[in-house]
Structure 1
Protein backbone atom coordinates (compact mmCIF):
# COMPACT_ATOMS: atom_id res chain seq x y z
CA UNK A 1 0.00 0.00 0.00
CA UNK A 2 1.05 3.47 -0.78
CA UNK A 3 0.87 6.16 1.82
CA UNK A 4 -0.13 9.69 0.85
CA UNK A 5 2.38 12.19 1.94
CA UNK A 6 1.28 15.60 3.06
CA UNK A 7 2.95 18.43 1.33
CA UNK A 8 4.78 20.65 3.77
CA UNK A 9 3.34 24.16 4.19
CA UNK A 10 5.36 26.79 2.50
CA UNK A 11 6.63 29.47 4.83
CA UNK A 12 7.07 32.92 3.38
CA UNK A 13 5.35 36.20 2.64
CA UNK A 14 1.67 36.29 1.73
CA UNK A 15 0.77 36.65 -1.90
CA UNK A 16 0.56 40.22 -3.12
CA UNK A 17 -3.19 40.06 -3.76
CA UNK A 18 -3.83 39.14 -0.12
CA UNK A 19 -1.64 41.95 1.11
CA UNK A 20 -3.44 44.40 -1.16
CA UNK A 21 -6.85 43.19 0.02
CA UNK A 22 -5.94 43.44 3.70
CA UNK A 23 -4.43 46.89 3.19
CA UNK A 24 -7.58 48.08 1.47
CA UNK A 25 -9.82 46.76 4.25
CA UNK A 26 -7.63 48.35 6.93
CA UNK A 27 -7.63 51.68 5.05
CA UNK A 28 -11.43 51.73 4.78
CA UNK A 29 -11.85 50.83 8.44
CA UNK A 30 -9.32 53.38 9.75
CA UNK A 31 -10.67 56.13 7.49
CA UNK A 32 -14.24 55.52 8.57
CA UNK A 33 -13.24 55.46 12.23
CA UNK A 34 -11.23 58.68 11.83
CA UNK A 35 -14.08 60.48 10.12
CA UNK A 36 -16.50 59.34 12.83
CA UNK A 37 -14.21 60.54 15.62
CA UNK A 38 -13.57 63.89 13.94
CA UNK A 39 -17.27 64.33 13.29
CA UNK A 40 -18.12 63.71 16.95
CA UNK A 41 -15.40 66.15 18.02
CA UNK A 42 -16.21 69.08 15.72
CA UNK A 43 -19.98 68.70 15.35
CA UNK A 44 -21.02 70.48 18.60
CA UNK A 45 -18.75 73.47 17.95
CA UNK A 46 -19.73 73.88 14.30
CA UNK A 47 -23.43 73.44 15.06
CA UNK A 48 -23.31 76.03 17.85
CA UNK A 49 -21.57 78.47 15.51
CA UNK A 50 -24.06 77.75 12.71
CA UNK A 51 -26.98 78.32 15.09
CA UNK A 52 -25.58 81.67 16.18
CA UNK A 53 -24.96 82.86 12.61
CA UNK A 54 -28.35 81.66 11.38
CA UNK A 55 -30.11 83.51 14.21
CA UNK A 56 -28.28 86.69 13.21
CA UNK A 57 -29.41 86.32 9.61
CA UNK A 58 -33.01 85.53 10.55
CA UNK A 59 -33.21 88.49 12.93
CA UNK A 60 -31.74 90.75 10.25
CA UNK A 61 -34.28 89.57 7.66
CA UNK A 62 -37.19 90.02 10.09
CA UNK A 63 -36.09 93.49 11.22
CA UNK A 64 -35.49 94.70 7.66
CA UNK A 65 -38.85 93.39 6.44
CA UNK A 66 -40.81 95.01 9.28
CA UNK A 67 -38.89 98.27 9.07
CA UNK A 68 -39.44 98.69 5.31
CA UNK A 69 -42.96 97.36 4.91
CA UNK A 70 -44.62 98.04 8.28
CA UNK A 71 -42.92 100.79 10.27
CA UNK A 72 -42.30 103.17 7.37
CA UNK A 73 -45.90 102.89 6.16
CA UNK A 74 -47.66 102.91 9.52
CA UNK A 75 -49.08 106.07 11.12
CA UNK A 76 -47.95 105.83 14.77
CA UNK A 77 -50.94 107.84 16.00
CA UNK A 78 -53.33 105.30 14.49
CA UNK A 79 -51.97 102.66 16.88
CA UNK A 80 -53.22 104.57 19.94
CA UNK A 81 -56.70 105.61 20.97
CA UNK A 82 -57.23 108.28 23.62
CA UNK A 83 -60.23 108.71 25.88
CA UNK A 84 -61.03 111.24 28.59
CA UNK A 85 -59.84 114.78 29.21
CA UNK A 86 -56.30 116.00 28.72
CA UNK A 87 -53.95 115.52 31.61
CA UNK A 88 -54.10 112.82 34.26
CA UNK A 89 -57.64 111.95 33.25
CA UNK A 90 -56.55 110.80 29.79
CA UNK A 91 -56.53 107.07 29.11
CA UNK A 92 -54.33 105.78 26.31
CA UNK A 93 -55.24 102.41 24.80
CA UNK A 94 -54.18 100.45 21.75
CA UNK A 95 -56.38 100.54 18.68
CA UNK A 96 -57.38 96.89 18.48
CA UNK A 97 -58.27 96.96 14.78
CA UNK A 98 -54.97 98.56 13.76
CA UNK A 99 -52.88 96.29 15.99
CA UNK A 100 -54.62 93.17 14.70
CA UNK A 101 -53.99 94.23 11.11
CA UNK A 102 -50.32 94.97 11.85
CA UNK A 103 -49.82 91.52 13.40
CA UNK A 104 -51.51 89.84 10.45
CA UNK A 105 -49.38 91.71 7.90
CA UNK A 106 -46.23 91.06 9.94
CA UNK A 107 -46.84 87.31 10.08
CA UNK A 108 -47.35 87.09 6.31
CA UNK A 109 -44.39 89.36 5.58
CA UNK A 110 -41.94 87.52 7.85
CA UNK A 111 -42.84 84.11 6.45
CA UNK A 112 -42.48 85.34 2.85
CA UNK A 113 -39.15 87.07 3.55
CA UNK A 114 -37.65 83.98 5.19
CA UNK A 115 -38.96 81.70 2.42
CA UNK A 116 -37.38 83.96 -0.20
CA UNK A 117 -34.02 83.80 1.56
CA UNK A 118 -34.36 80.04 1.91
CA UNK A 119 -34.97 79.65 -1.84
CA UNK A 120 -32.16 82.03 -2.79
CA UNK A 121 -34.57 84.65 -4.13
CA UNK A 122 -34.16 87.25 -1.37
CA UNK A 123 -31.26 89.67 -1.17
CA UNK A 124 -29.23 90.52 1.93
CA UNK A 125 -27.49 93.75 1.00
CA UNK A 126 -25.98 94.50 4.40
CA UNK A 127 -25.45 91.20 6.26
CA UNK A 128 -24.72 91.12 9.99
CA UNK A 129 -21.13 91.44 11.12
CA UNK A 130 -19.11 88.24 10.74
CA UNK A 131 -21.55 86.59 8.29
CA UNK A 132 -20.51 86.06 4.66
CA UNK A 133 -23.54 85.25 2.53
CA UNK A 134 -22.99 82.84 -0.36
CA UNK A 135 -22.75 84.87 -3.59
CA UNK A 136 -22.98 81.98 -6.03
CA UNK A 137 -26.50 82.13 -7.44
CA UNK A 138 -26.63 78.42 -8.22
CA UNK A 139 -25.62 77.44 -4.69
CA UNK A 140 -28.12 79.91 -3.24
CA UNK A 141 -30.90 78.34 -5.30
CA UNK A 142 -29.88 74.95 -3.90
CA UNK A 143 -30.51 76.31 -0.42
CA UNK A 144 -26.92 76.98 0.69
CA UNK A 145 -26.96 80.27 2.56
CA UNK A 146 -23.34 80.56 3.71
CA UNK A 147 -20.23 78.49 4.51
CA UNK A 148 -18.32 77.83 7.72
CA UNK A 149 -14.55 77.20 7.55
CA UNK A 150 -13.67 73.96 9.31
CA UNK A 151 -11.08 75.90 11.32
CA UNK A 152 -13.92 77.43 13.37
CA UNK A 153 -14.09 74.15 15.26
CA UNK A 154 -10.62 74.70 16.71
CA UNK A 155 -11.59 77.82 18.68
CA UNK A 156 -8.26 79.24 17.55
CA UNK A 157 -8.25 82.72 16.02
CA UNK A 158 -5.27 81.89 13.80
CA UNK A 159 -6.95 78.80 12.34
CA UNK A 160 -10.51 80.13 12.22
CA UNK A 161 -10.53 80.76 8.47
CA UNK A 162 -8.56 77.67 7.44
CA UNK A 163 -9.77 74.34 6.15
CA UNK A 164 -12.52 73.34 3.74
CA UNK A 165 -15.77 75.31 3.81
CA UNK A 166 -18.83 73.53 5.18
CA UNK A 167 -22.14 74.59 3.56
CA UNK A 168 -25.00 75.65 5.80
CA UNK A 169 -28.67 75.55 4.82
CA UNK A 170 -31.68 76.70 6.77
CA UNK A 171 -35.43 76.40 6.41
CA UNK A 172 -38.35 77.73 8.41
CA UNK A 173 -40.46 75.31 10.44
CA UNK A 174 -44.14 76.06 10.80
CA UNK A 175 -45.62 79.55 10.90
CA UNK A 176 -44.18 82.65 12.51
CA UNK A 177 -45.79 83.69 15.79
CA UNK A 178 -46.38 87.42 16.33
CA UNK A 179 -47.56 89.36 19.34
CA UNK A 180 -47.61 92.95 20.56
CA UNK A 181 -45.78 94.27 23.62
CA UNK A 182 -45.70 97.71 25.19
CA UNK A 183 -43.27 99.48 27.47
CA UNK A 184 -43.85 102.64 29.51
CA UNK A 185 -40.91 104.77 30.64
CA UNK A 186 -40.80 107.96 32.65
CA UNK A 187 -40.19 110.97 30.43
CA UNK A 188 -39.69 114.32 32.12
CA UNK A 189 -42.08 115.61 34.77
CA UNK A 190 -45.27 113.54 34.99
CA UNK A 191 -44.90 112.38 31.37
CA UNK A 192 -44.53 108.89 30.01
CA UNK A 193 -43.10 107.48 26.79
CA UNK A 194 -45.17 104.59 25.44
CA UNK A 195 -43.48 102.28 22.93
CA UNK A 196 -45.27 99.54 21.03
CA UNK A 197 -43.24 96.54 19.85
CA UNK A 198 -44.07 93.69 17.52
CA UNK A 199 -42.58 90.48 18.89
CA UNK A 200 -41.79 87.80 16.33
CA UNK A 201 -40.88 84.20 17.09
CA UNK A 202 -40.00 81.65 14.44
CA UNK A 203 -38.26 78.26 14.38
CA UNK A 204 -35.63 77.61 11.74
CA UNK A 205 -33.88 74.35 10.95
CA UNK A 206 -30.11 74.59 10.57
CA UNK A 207 -28.73 71.92 8.25
CA UNK A 208 -25.07 70.86 8.02
CA UNK A 209 -23.84 67.98 5.83
CA UNK A 210 -23.51 65.75 8.89
CA UNK A 211 -26.03 67.17 11.38
CA UNK A 212 -29.19 69.20 11.80
CA UNK A 213 -30.70 71.25 14.60
CA UNK A 214 -33.61 73.60 15.28
CA UNK A 215 -32.96 77.18 16.41
CA UNK A 216 -35.64 79.45 17.85
CA UNK A 217 -35.35 83.07 16.75
CA UNK A 218 -37.06 85.77 18.82
CA UNK A 219 -36.87 89.48 18.13
CA UNK A 220 -38.77 92.66 19.02
CA UNK A 221 -39.15 95.56 16.60
CA UNK A 222 -40.54 98.98 17.69
CA UNK A 223 -43.38 100.11 15.40
CA UNK A 224 -44.93 103.07 17.23
CA UNK A 225 -44.01 105.54 19.96
CA UNK A 226 -45.97 108.21 21.80
CA UNK A 227 -45.35 110.63 24.67
CA UNK A 228 -48.26 110.84 27.08
CA UNK A 229 -48.36 114.21 28.83
CA UNK A 230 -49.84 114.31 32.29
CA UNK A 231 -50.88 117.42 34.22
CA UNK A 232 -48.07 119.55 35.69
CA UNK A 233 -47.92 119.19 39.52
CA UNK A 234 -48.36 122.21 41.80
CA UNK A 235 -45.07 121.48 43.54
CA UNK A 236 -41.76 120.23 42.22
CA UNK A 237 -38.91 119.02 44.45
CA UNK A 238 -35.49 118.59 42.83
CA UNK A 239 -34.26 115.97 45.29
CA UNK A 240 -35.95 112.94 46.77
CA UNK A 241 -34.28 113.42 50.19
CA UNK A 242 -35.98 116.74 50.89
CA UNK A 243 -32.77 118.76 50.54
CA UNK A 244 -33.90 120.49 47.36
CA UNK A 245 -36.15 123.52 47.55
CA UNK A 246 -39.78 122.92 46.62
CA UNK A 247 -40.97 125.24 43.87
CA UNK A 248 -44.65 126.14 43.77
CA UNK A 249 -46.05 126.40 40.27
CA UNK A 250 -48.99 128.60 39.38
CA UNK A 251 -52.31 126.82 39.22
CA UNK A 252 -54.93 128.31 36.96
CA UNK A 253 -57.71 126.58 38.88
CA UNK A 254 -57.02 128.66 42.03
Structure 2
Protein backbone atom coordinates (compact mmCIF):
# COMPACT_ATOMS: atom_id res chain seq x y z
CA UNK A 1 0.00 0.00 0.00
CA UNK A 2 1.14 3.46 -0.79
CA UNK A 3 1.49 5.73 2.16
CA UNK A 4 0.43 9.34 1.77
CA UNK A 5 3.10 11.77 2.72
CA UNK A 6 2.05 14.59 4.95
CA UNK A 7 2.94 18.02 3.64
CA UNK A 8 4.58 19.95 6.37
CA UNK A 9 3.92 23.69 6.31
CA UNK A 10 6.86 25.94 6.67
CA UNK A 11 6.56 27.82 9.98
CA UNK A 12 9.78 29.74 9.73
CA UNK A 13 10.13 33.54 9.88
CA UNK A 14 8.70 35.71 7.13
CA UNK A 15 10.92 36.77 4.33
CA UNK A 16 12.20 40.32 4.09
CA UNK A 17 9.75 41.25 1.34
CA UNK A 18 6.81 39.79 3.26
CA UNK A 19 7.78 41.68 6.40
CA UNK A 20 8.20 44.88 4.44
CA UNK A 21 4.81 44.50 2.76
CA UNK A 22 3.06 43.73 6.04
CA UNK A 23 4.72 46.69 7.76
CA UNK A 24 3.67 48.99 4.91
CA UNK A 25 0.04 47.83 5.12
CA UNK A 26 -0.07 48.34 8.91
CA UNK A 27 1.56 51.76 8.55
CA UNK A 28 -0.93 52.75 5.86
CA UNK A 29 -3.90 51.69 7.99
CA UNK A 30 -2.64 53.60 11.03
CA UNK A 31 -1.91 56.66 8.87
CA UNK A 32 -5.41 56.70 7.39
CA UNK A 33 -6.97 56.26 10.81
CA UNK A 34 -4.81 59.03 12.30
CA UNK A 35 -5.66 61.41 9.47
CA UNK A 36 -9.37 60.69 9.93
CA UNK A 37 -9.15 61.36 13.68
CA UNK A 38 -7.16 64.57 13.11
CA UNK A 39 -9.59 65.70 10.42
CA UNK A 40 -12.60 65.20 12.69
CA UNK A 41 -10.84 66.98 15.53
CA UNK A 42 -9.47 70.07 13.76
CA UNK A 43 -12.21 70.68 11.16
CA UNK A 44 -14.54 72.59 13.54
CA UNK A 45 -11.60 74.66 14.82
CA UNK A 46 -10.40 75.45 11.30
CA UNK A 47 -13.90 76.49 10.25
CA UNK A 48 -14.18 78.75 13.28
CA UNK A 49 -10.82 80.39 12.50
CA UNK A 50 -11.76 80.69 8.82
CA UNK A 51 -15.05 82.39 9.72
CA UNK A 52 -13.25 84.92 11.92
CA UNK A 53 -10.77 85.75 9.16
CA UNK A 54 -13.62 85.94 6.66
CA UNK A 55 -15.34 88.57 8.80
CA UNK A 56 -12.20 90.73 8.59
CA UNK A 57 -11.82 90.30 4.83
CA UNK A 58 -15.46 90.88 3.92
CA UNK A 59 -15.73 93.89 6.26
CA UNK A 60 -12.61 95.42 4.72
CA UNK A 61 -13.98 94.82 1.22
CA UNK A 62 -17.36 96.34 2.08
CA UNK A 63 -15.78 99.42 3.66
CA UNK A 64 -13.62 99.89 0.60
CA UNK A 65 -16.54 99.42 -1.77
CA UNK A 66 -18.84 102.02 -0.17
CA UNK A 67 -16.12 104.62 0.45
CA UNK A 68 -17.10 106.62 -2.65
CA UNK A 69 -20.80 106.42 -1.79
CA UNK A 70 -20.14 107.79 1.70
CA UNK A 71 -17.94 110.56 0.34
CA UNK A 72 -20.67 111.70 -2.07
CA UNK A 73 -23.38 111.70 0.60
CA UNK A 74 -24.74 115.13 1.49
CA UNK A 75 -26.41 115.07 4.90
CA UNK A 76 -28.37 118.26 4.16
CA UNK A 77 -29.96 116.51 1.20
CA UNK A 78 -30.47 113.17 2.96
CA UNK A 79 -32.16 114.56 6.08
CA UNK A 80 -35.56 116.10 5.37
CA UNK A 81 -36.63 118.60 8.07
CA UNK A 82 -40.13 120.05 8.08
CA UNK A 83 -40.99 123.22 10.00
CA UNK A 84 -44.33 124.58 11.19
CA UNK A 85 -45.66 128.10 10.66
CA UNK A 86 -43.67 129.37 13.66
CA UNK A 87 -40.39 128.05 12.29
CA UNK A 88 -40.13 125.23 14.81
CA UNK A 89 -39.03 121.75 13.78
CA UNK A 90 -42.10 119.63 13.09
CA UNK A 91 -40.73 116.36 11.68
CA UNK A 92 -37.33 114.91 10.79
CA UNK A 93 -36.86 112.03 8.35
CA UNK A 94 -35.05 110.75 5.29
CA UNK A 95 -35.55 112.23 1.86
CA UNK A 96 -36.92 109.19 -0.04
CA UNK A 97 -35.25 110.08 -3.33
CA UNK A 98 -31.81 110.59 -1.79
CA UNK A 99 -32.27 107.52 0.41
CA UNK A 100 -33.00 105.31 -2.60
CA UNK A 101 -30.04 106.76 -4.50
CA UNK A 102 -27.64 105.99 -1.64
CA UNK A 103 -29.18 102.55 -1.13
CA UNK A 104 -28.90 101.50 -4.78
CA UNK A 105 -25.40 102.96 -5.10
CA UNK A 106 -24.15 101.07 -2.04
CA UNK A 107 -25.69 97.78 -3.18
CA UNK A 108 -24.25 98.11 -6.68
CA UNK A 109 -20.79 99.06 -5.39
CA UNK A 110 -20.55 96.17 -2.92
CA UNK A 111 -21.86 93.57 -5.36
CA UNK A 112 -19.53 94.76 -8.10
CA UNK A 113 -16.55 94.75 -5.77
CA UNK A 114 -17.29 91.29 -4.38
CA UNK A 115 -17.61 90.06 -7.95
CA UNK A 116 -14.19 91.54 -8.74
CA UNK A 117 -12.81 89.61 -5.78
CA UNK A 118 -13.48 86.43 -7.72
CA UNK A 119 -11.51 87.40 -10.83
CA UNK A 120 -9.30 90.48 -10.49
CA UNK A 121 -6.27 91.40 -8.45
CA UNK A 122 -7.04 93.05 -5.11
CA UNK A 123 -3.64 94.56 -4.40
CA UNK A 124 -5.25 97.93 -3.68
CA UNK A 125 -7.42 96.48 -0.91
CA UNK A 126 -6.14 96.75 2.66
CA UNK A 127 -6.23 93.08 3.67
CA UNK A 128 -4.63 91.30 6.64
CA UNK A 129 -0.97 90.35 6.18
CA UNK A 130 -1.52 86.58 6.09
CA UNK A 131 -3.91 86.73 3.12
CA UNK A 132 -2.71 85.60 -0.29
CA UNK A 133 -4.93 86.69 -3.17
CA UNK A 134 -5.52 83.86 -5.59
CA UNK A 135 -4.33 84.10 -9.19
CA UNK A 136 -6.55 85.65 -11.80
CA UNK A 137 -7.73 82.30 -13.13
CA UNK A 138 -9.07 81.12 -9.78
CA UNK A 139 -12.50 82.02 -8.47
CA UNK A 140 -12.74 83.69 -5.12
CA UNK A 141 -10.20 85.20 -2.81
CA UNK A 142 -7.90 82.57 -1.29
CA UNK A 143 -5.92 82.98 1.91
CA UNK A 144 -4.03 80.58 4.15
CA UNK A 145 -4.17 79.55 7.81
CA UNK A 146 -1.26 77.77 9.54
CA UNK A 147 -2.41 74.32 10.65
CA UNK A 148 -0.85 74.96 14.07
CA UNK A 149 -3.55 77.51 14.88
CA UNK A 150 -6.03 74.66 15.16
CA UNK A 151 -4.14 73.33 18.20
CA UNK A 152 -4.96 76.47 20.25
CA UNK A 153 -1.32 76.46 21.34
CA UNK A 154 0.57 79.75 21.18
CA UNK A 155 3.90 78.01 20.54
CA UNK A 156 2.48 76.04 17.61
CA UNK A 157 0.26 78.77 16.14
CA UNK A 158 2.57 79.56 13.21
CA UNK A 159 3.80 76.01 12.57
CA UNK A 160 2.61 73.34 10.21
CA UNK A 161 1.49 73.43 6.58
CA UNK A 162 -0.74 76.18 5.25
CA UNK A 163 -4.42 75.31 4.93
CA UNK A 164 -6.05 77.16 2.00
CA UNK A 165 -9.33 78.93 2.71
CA UNK A 166 -11.53 80.16 -0.12
CA UNK A 167 -14.05 82.98 0.21
CA UNK A 168 -16.81 83.82 -2.25
CA UNK A 169 -19.94 85.93 -1.88
CA UNK A 170 -23.39 84.42 -2.35
CA UNK A 171 -26.74 86.12 -2.62
CA UNK A 172 -27.50 89.82 -2.65
CA UNK A 173 -26.27 92.57 -0.37
CA UNK A 174 -28.78 93.97 2.13
CA UNK A 175 -28.32 97.69 2.88
CA UNK A 176 -30.26 99.75 5.41
CA UNK A 177 -29.80 103.31 6.66
CA UNK A 178 -30.40 103.88 10.35
CA UNK A 179 -30.68 107.19 12.17
CA UNK A 180 -29.97 107.88 15.84
CA UNK A 181 -31.13 111.01 17.63
CA UNK A 182 -29.34 112.52 20.60
CA UNK A 183 -30.66 115.50 22.56
CA UNK A 184 -28.03 118.15 23.21
CA UNK A 185 -28.74 121.11 25.46
CA UNK A 186 -32.23 122.60 25.23
CA UNK A 187 -34.26 121.50 22.18
CA UNK A 188 -31.11 120.78 20.15
CA UNK A 189 -30.57 117.47 18.38
CA UNK A 190 -27.63 115.58 16.93
CA UNK A 191 -28.62 113.19 14.13
CA UNK A 192 -26.19 110.36 13.42
CA UNK A 193 -26.79 108.22 10.34
CA UNK A 194 -25.13 104.84 9.80
CA UNK A 195 -25.23 102.36 6.93
CA UNK A 196 -25.87 98.75 7.94
CA UNK A 197 -24.78 96.13 5.40
CA UNK A 198 -25.36 92.36 5.45
CA UNK A 199 -23.91 89.86 2.96
CA UNK A 200 -23.74 86.06 2.96
CA UNK A 201 -20.44 84.42 2.02
CA UNK A 202 -19.21 80.88 1.40
CA UNK A 203 -16.19 79.75 3.44
CA UNK A 204 -14.47 76.72 1.91
CA UNK A 205 -11.62 74.69 3.38
CA UNK A 206 -10.40 71.26 2.20
CA UNK A 207 -13.21 68.69 2.68
CA UNK A 208 -15.53 71.21 4.37
CA UNK A 209 -17.64 74.25 3.57
CA UNK A 210 -19.71 76.69 5.61
CA UNK A 211 -21.96 79.69 5.06
CA UNK A 212 -21.38 82.79 7.14
CA UNK A 213 -23.20 86.12 7.42
CA UNK A 214 -21.10 89.26 7.50
CA UNK A 215 -22.67 92.27 9.21
CA UNK A 216 -21.06 95.68 9.41
CA UNK A 217 -22.22 99.18 10.33
CA UNK A 218 -20.50 102.19 8.75
CA UNK A 219 -21.01 105.78 9.97
CA UNK A 220 -22.49 107.80 7.13
CA UNK A 221 -22.55 111.26 8.68
CA UNK A 222 -24.07 113.49 11.33
CA UNK A 223 -26.13 116.66 11.42
CA UNK A 224 -26.87 119.25 14.09
CA UNK A 225 -30.44 120.55 14.28
CA UNK A 226 -30.92 123.57 16.58
CA UNK A 227 -34.32 124.10 18.17
CA UNK A 228 -36.17 127.01 19.70
CA UNK A 229 -34.89 127.89 23.18
CA UNK A 230 -37.74 128.97 25.55
CA UNK A 231 -37.46 132.04 27.76
CA UNK A 232 -37.97 129.91 30.86
CA UNK A 233 -36.65 126.39 31.37
CA UNK A 234 -37.41 124.11 34.29
CA UNK A 235 -35.09 121.13 34.58
CA UNK A 236 -37.68 119.26 36.66
CA UNK A 237 -36.65 120.47 40.10
CA UNK A 238 -38.94 122.42 42.41
CA UNK A 239 -37.98 125.87 41.23
CA UNK A 240 -40.13 128.97 40.95
CA UNK A 241 -39.75 130.39 37.42
CA UNK A 242 -42.73 132.72 37.55
CA UNK A 243 -42.31 136.45 37.08
CA UNK A 244 -42.79 138.21 40.44
CA UNK A 245 -45.68 140.69 40.67
CA UNK A 246 -45.25 144.18 42.00
Where on the TM-score scale, by shorter chain, does this alignment land: which range?
0.7 to 0.9
Q: Which deviations, in whole Å up to 9, do the C-alpha atoms of 1:25-56 show, x marking residues without a partner?
A: 21221111111111112112221111011111
- Asked whether the equivalents of residues 81 and 89 of structure 2 are also in contact (C-alpha less than 8 Å), the reply is no
Comparing 139-148 and 166-175, the one that deviates more: 139-148
Q: Which deviations, in whole Å up to 9, do the C-alpha atoms of 1:136-161 show, x marking residues without a partner?
A: x6388464532111111122222211
Question: How many angstroms apart in 2 are the aligned matches of 1:122 and 1:246?
Answer: 67
Unaligned runs of 5+ in 1: 249-254
Aligned 1:1-254 pairs, distance under 5 A: 1-67=1-67, 69-85=68-84, 88-128=88-128, 131-134=129-132, 138=135, 141=138, 143-236=140-233, 241=237
Displacement of 1:118 after TM fit?
A: 3.1
- Asked whether the equivalents of residues 174 and 203 of structure 1 are also in contact (C-alpha less than 8 Å), the reply is yes
Displacement of 1:208 after TM fit?
A: 1.0
Displacement of 1:122 after TM fit?
A: 2.6
- Asked whether the equivalents of residues 60 and 126 of structure 2 are also in contact (C-alpha less than 8 Å), the reply is no
- Asked whether the equivalents of residues 173 and 205 of structure 1 are also in contact (C-alpha less than 8 Å), the reply is yes
The total of aligned residue pairs comes to 241
Question: How many angstroms apart in 1 are the aligned matches of 2:159 and 2:98?
Answer: 51
Which structure has more relative contact order (CA 8 Å, sep 6+)? It is: 1
Displacement of 1:77 after TM fit?
A: 1.2
Cα distance change, pair 246–198 in 1 and its aligned pair in 2 (3 A)? farther
Displacement of 1:233 after TM fit?
A: 2.5
Displacement of 1:117 after TM fit?
A: 2.2
- Asked whether the equivalents of residues 194 and 219 of structure 2 are also in contact (C-alpha less than 8 Å), the reply is yes
Which of structure 1's runs of 4+ aligned residues deviate more than 4 A?
Answer: 139-142, 239-242, 245-248
Question: How many angstroms apart in 1 are the aligned matches of 2:186 and 2:222?
Answer: 18
- Asked whether the equivalents of residues 194 and 218 of structure 2 are also in contact (C-alpha less than 8 Å), the reply is yes
- Asked whether the equivalents of residues 182 and 194 of structure 1 are also in contact (C-alpha less than 8 Å), the reply is yes
TM-score, structure 1 as length reference: 0.84
CA-based RMSD of the aligned residues comes to: 2.4
